[in-house]
Structure 1
Amino acid sequence: MKLSDQIRFTIRNMRKNKLRIFMTVLATTMGSAFLIVLASVGFGLQNSLIEEASSHQPLTQIQLWEKHEDGVHQEIDEQMIEEIKAMEHIKTVVPRSTVFQMDVYPSISLGDYQSGGDVIVTDFEAEEESNLSLSDGRFPESENEILAGYHFSDSLISPETAEEQAEQDDPYVYEAEGDYTGSVLGQEVTISFVDWESGDIVEEETFTIAGITEAPARDWSRDGNLYVAGEFREQFMGLTGQDLMYTDINAHVTSVEHVENVTNDLKEQGYSVYSISEELSSMNMFFNALKAGLIFVGTIAVLIASIGIFNTMTMAVTERTHEIGVMKALGADPSSIRRMFLMESSAIGFMGALFGVMIAYIVSIGANLIIPSILASTTGSETETFNITFSAITPELVLTATAISVSVAMISGYRPALRATKVNVLSALRREA
């Protein structure tokens, strides 16, 4: 019997009992939809947490602190940085030094306005290689050009506001809301180094803001700092009395797939490091186990629906005993008969999976729209606060659910199909069609 004939017979037989087939497909649909929606919660939460974690730090970035060698803790110096840069798959290393307030403190002013932001000395060439993004302007091209943080203009306060702040608190700590209007791009900024005791200006430098950094990934994070070229590192840190040490060192790897190997190599050399890939690895391990558990629970619903498939196929074999006998008498081999019934059961499973995917998508979209609104209304917060994907249906999940549904349907239909191949021809022909 040709495959086309088997398919035609299968379709014809399914049309004979539309209601029964419909109810069986409906049960399979509900099982498949439950499986997909349940597992999609794991996929959705995993995507949201990974997106949140990776937005705080680039996936190719590795943070370094100190080096441990022979039980001795060493601060990372220029030589070590050059050695790290020479390592395989290292794209660049960005060393930063924050100018702290000690005997002498840095004071930032733009005209009459003052800022409480930090002065950070960095390597602009390395910053550009690390793909530091700017919201406006360009990278500095000379020593007297600097970058301003995205919120630098918000940190600038007028003399009147500064006076009010001084009456309430430390005159050199500006916590008031900035009242500067306009863009700071192209404006001249003066960094003065003031003696804590006398209030005298020890030294000052004037810079031009060439660019403004992009907004921080964290909504609550504020970047009101000034970024100065590395040539001023010794001068500025010497004025405040700091040790010449780097406060923030980030190594950038050429691609994500090399991050783990580079991280392990740095650890073997004694460096204290952290990369988001380590956190994501643990997170993925947890969510993979969670998703496997959710899929297992969802599969139970499909198995329950398979009882209906078994009953439907068993009744189909009983009703078609005469037809099976005729096909056998005409020379149909048992494998062709078994294949026809397996095709029918698998078709039920496939249709159930297909409709289940449609329903799951509708439920998933509705959940992502409604749940944040419910949480916002119950907590009195803005809907944007709950920027979480509660349900995400991926192609892998759809294929997995379809494979499970079809496989379970074929397993449920196998015994009735096997029974059909054992129908006695003479007994079947005596029965009326």
Structure 2
Amino acid sequence: MRFPDLLIMSMNNLRRRKLRTVLTVLGVIIGTAAIVVMVSLGIGLNEMTMEQIASWGSLTTIQVSSQNSGGSMQIMGGSSGQKNGDTEPNYITDKVVDSFKKLPHVTGVSPVLTMNVVMRQGAYISTFVQLKGVSQSYLEQLNLGEGRIPASGELGLVFGNGVIRDFANAKTGKGYWDTGEMPDVDPMGKPMFVIFDVDAYYQSQGTAGSLGSSGQETSTVKPPKKYMIETTGMIAGGEDNWNNYSWYVFTDIDGLKDQLRKAFKRGTPIPGQPTNKKGKPLSELVYDSAEVFVDDMDHVTEVQSQLAAMGYQVNSQMDFLESSRQQSNMVQTVLGGIGAVSLFVAAIGIANTMMMSIYERTKEIGVMKVLGCDMGNIRNMFLIESGFIGFMGGLIGVGLSYGVSAVVNRFVNMSQSMGLSGNLSRIPPWLSLAAIGFAVFVGMAAGFMPAVRAMKLSPLAAIRNE
């Protein structure tokens, strides 16, 4: 018997028992929709977590810092030194950066020079701005809301969207954290004055106006020079949106080096830079960290191990991603298992329907055998019926799951409950196809035993059956 004939005969058999078929299909619909929605929740939660981690920084970027960076390079400048003991500090210099570039799977390295500067615009001032000098490859990763990144060698500023909050009125000393109102600072529209010699700035503020023993004013530290620097860009994001780049001001590393040569005379220690035992600056500039760019996420862990073996502290977003993946996979397994229970119950319904069909069609099966119908055709006919029930239930169930998913995304706001953005329930195309295929498989598996039973029925006993 040809397959089209078997298919037509199976459809006619199901059509003759409409109510039973509809109820059985309904069970598959509910089971398929349940498992698809449950798995989609796990997928959505996993993807939202990955998107949030990616917003904190690139997933293929490794942050490298010196083992002694926590104590030897002081924020407010001055002294340096080595780690405890006689071990030579493993500073990150240009030579070290070049050695990082030679590692397998490394596509680029950006030295990072972070220094504290004072910025002022009009009546507002911020005495704790972290200026980061980075490479062009680093700057190209920034998501700008307006403007541009500075060119190579240009001392242009790229403001993080959270930096303005740290400005305060120079007269009252009050800013955003005191009044709740954003300071009237416009980096893109007005000139920004920057003071690089932070030590001299604080010293000039602290000694001005002091009197000696003779009653005359003592010599004061001369206020450091202010430099007017252009702001070329702003990182995207509003007042309530932040990421790893929001609280820094970025500039090109070569432009920053040139500016430091102008701001500090030769032999004068740069605040934040280590010095030798005599208090003199080292012969080469020391970076506080470096960003290592890897070609693929799968190679990040391998490169991290190589950098750690070289004696440097390393971390990346992959550290958080791996733990998040494990948690998401566990949640997804639990949710999928809950949905699978519903489909298992539907499979029992299919098996029951097919067994009832065999008892009702015993004589029909006997006639087919007497007429010489192949045993395999009889088995295939029942398998097609059960598979079609699974197909119809799976197809409609997937459609229902899209509706349920839309309702979930409409009324469940993850940004308020967990700080995540985007749709919670996400149904990728592969999940829809897999759900339909799984429903057909479950249907045919549930109908296999009834099909084998029909194939083994005795022809004479089947014909005599009433």
Common fold by TM > 0.5: yes
Unaligned runs of 5+ in 2: 69-82, 206-220, 275-284
For 1:114, the equivalent position in structure 2 comes to 125
Within the alignment, does 1:197 sit opposite 2:213 as a pair?
Answer: no
Within the alignment, does 1:255 sit opposite 2:265 as a pair?
Answer: no
Q: Conserved in 2, the CA contact under 8 Å of 1:149 and 1:214?
A: yes
Q: Conserved in 1, the CA contact under 8 Å of 2:108 and 2:292?
A: yes
Within the alignment, does 1:53 sit opposite 2:84 as a pair?
Answer: no
For 2:136, the equivalent position in structure 1 comes to 125
Identity %: 30
SS in 2 for 1:198: helix
2: CA distance between counterparts of 1:181 and 1:195? 21
For 1:164, the equivalent position in structure 2 comes to 172
Pairwise CA distance, 1:220: 4.3
Q: Please say which of residues 236-245 and 58-67 is displaced more in the overlay.
A: 236-245
Pairwise CA distance, 1:178: 4.8
Pairwise CA distance, 1:277: 2.1
1: CA distance between counterparts of 2:167 and 2:96? 41
**Counterpart pick for 1:209 among 206, 230, 235:** 230
Change (3 A) 1:67 1:216: farther
Q: Letter of the aligned partner of 2:251 in structure 1?
A: Y
1: CA distance between counterparts of 2:305 and 2:248? 34
Pairwise CA distance, 1:345: 0.6
Aligned length: 412
| 1:327-342 to 2 correspondences below 5 Å | 327-342=368-383
Q: Letter of the aligned partner of 1:256 in structure 2?
A: M
| 1:214-253 to 2 correspondences below 5 Å | 214-215=235-236, 219-220=241-242, 222-223=246-247, 225=249, 227=251, 229-231=255-257, 232-233=259-260, 238-240=269-271, 242-243=273-274, 245-253=286-294
Q: Letter of the aligned partner of 1:138 in structure 2?
A: R
Q: Conserved in 1, the CA contact under 8 Å of 2:113 and 2:134?
A: no
Pairwise CA distance, 1:84: 0.4
For 2:16, the equivalent position in structure 1 comes to 16
SS in 2 for 1:108: strand
2: CA distance between counterparts of 1:359 and 1:290? 22
Pairwise CA distance, 1:210: 5.1
Q: Conserved in 2, the CA contact under 8 Å of 1:135 and 1:150?
A: no
Q: Letter of the aligned partner of 2:315 in structure 1?
A: Y
For 2:442, the equivalent position in structure 1 comes to 408
Within the alignment, does 1:140 sit opposite 2:181 as a pair?
Answer: no
Change (3 A) 1:124 1:80: closer
Q: Conserved in 1, the CA contact under 8 Å of 2:160 and 2:234?
A: yes
For 1:103, the equivalent position in structure 2 comes to none
Change (3 A) 1:133 1:311: closer
Unaligned runs of 5+ in 1: 101-105, 377-381
Q: Please say which of residues 322-331 and 186-195 is displaced more in the overlay.
A: 186-195
Q: Please say which of residues 301-310 and 131-140 is displaced more in the overlay.
A: 131-140
1: CA distance between counterparts of 2:152 and 2:309? 39
Q: Conserved in 2, the CA contact under 8 Å of 1:96 and 1:120?
A: no
Q: Letter of the aligned partner of 1:84 in structure 2?
A: F
Q: C-alpha deviations, 1:252-303, integer Å up to 9, x for none?
A: 1233343233223223333221121232223223322332333233222211
For 1:417, the equivalent position in structure 2 comes to 451
Pairwise CA distance, 1:224: 5.8
Q: Letter of the aligned partner of 1:108 in structure 2?
A: M
2: CA distance between counterparts of 1:132 and 1:387? 20
For 1:379, the equivalent position in structure 2 comes to none
Q: Letter of the aligned partner of 1:197 in structure 2?
A: Q
Change (3 A) 1:283 1:242: same
Q: Please say which of residues 348-357 and 402-411 is displaced more in the overlay.
A: 402-411
Change (3 A) 1:143 1:156: farther
2: CA distance between counterparts of 1:10 and 1:319? 14
Q: C-alpha deviations, 1:13-68, integer Å up to 9, x for none?
A: 11100111000111111122222222222222111111111111111111111259
2: CA distance between counterparts of 1:112 and 1:52? 36
Pairwise CA distance, 1:9: 0.5
**Counterpart pick for 1:298 among 331, 339, 348:** 339
Pairwise CA distance, 1:96: 2.1
For 1:31, the equivalent position in structure 2 comes to 31
2: CA distance between counterparts of 1:117 and 1:423? 88
SS in 1 for 2:184: coil
Q: Letter of the aligned partner of 1:148 in structure 2?
A: V
For 2:208, the equivalent position in structure 1 comes to none
Q: Conserved in 1, the CA contact under 8 Å of 2:119 and 2:192?
A: no
**TM-score, structure 2 as length reference:** 0.77
2: CA distance between counterparts of 1:142 and 1:420? 80
1: CA distance between counterparts of 2:163 and 2:315? 32
Q: Please say which of residues 246-255 and 137-146 is displaced more in the overlay.
A: 137-146
2: CA distance between counterparts of 1:249 and 1:175? 35
Q: C-alpha deviations, 1:350-369, integer Å up to 9, x for none?
A: 21111211222211211121
Q: Letter of the aligned partner of 2:232 in structure 1?
A: G
Q: C-alpha deviations, 1:159-197, integer Å up to 9, x for none?
A: xx32111xx79xxx9977554365625845343634423
Pairwise CA distance, 1:344: 0.4
SS in 2 for 1:238: coil
**TM-score, structure 1 as length reference:** 0.82
Q: Conserved in 2, the CA contact under 8 Å of 1:28 and 1:306?
A: yes
RMSD: 3.4
Change (3 A) 1:269 1:63: same
SS in 1 for 2:103: coil
Q: Conserved in 2, the CA contact under 8 Å of 1:111 and 1:189?
A: no
Change (3 A) 1:241 1:44: closer
